[in-house]
A = this chain, B = another copy of it.
Amino acid sequence: MKALTKAEEQIMQILWDLKEAYVKDVLERMDDPKPAYNTVSTFIRILETKGFVKHRPIGKSHQYYPIVTKDEYRSFSIRRLLSGYFGGSFTKMASFFAKEENLDVKEIERIMEEVKKDVK
């Protein structure tokens, strides 16, 4: 999987959110100052050539939808961070975060309880 550029990522975030969308739907959700319609259209087509997005023709128009899921990209992003900055170890990252946030043992335990509940 290839990393997304900043502008590409912005648009993927919207597509992940909407599940499927026309160019105009994506444009609508973009922050001001909104880019030109064609800017969005171009990026979506780039995302399509990169294999992140596909479309189905609806009348004369295209409805776009993500084929790389947000979870897949999440996973890719965590892995990249872990391997670049924490020797590939999630434990190291968690320790780093805990120290940085001055979490005490109680708080760490609360987080882990939450995780355990969630994993079940």
B-contact 0/1 string along A91-120, CB 8 Å cutoff: 101111111110111001101101110110
* Given A99-B119, A115-B108, A118-B99; A81-B84 close (CB under 8 Å): no
Interface 9-mer from A19-27, A31-39, A50-58, A70-78: A70-78
Residue from B78, B91, B100, B105 within 8 A of A75 (CB atoms): B100
Q: By the criterion CB–CB under 8 Å, are A91 and B74 in contact?
A: no
Minimal beta-carbon separation of A118 from chain B (angstroms) = 4
Q: How far is the CA of A81 from the CA of B82 in the complex (A)?
A: 11
The number of chain A residues touching the other chain, given as a range, is 35 or more
Q: By the criterion CB–CB under 8 Å, are B91 and A119 in contact?
A: no
Which residues of B sit under 8 angstroms from A85, Cβ to Cβ? 70, 73-74, 77
* Given A85-B70, A103-B119, A108-B112; A78-B98 close (CB under 8 Å): no
What is the interface of chain A, defined by CB distance below 8 A to chain B?
9, 13, 70-71, 73-75, 77-78, 81, 84-86, 90-91, 93-101, 103-105, 108-109, 111-112, 114-116, 118-119
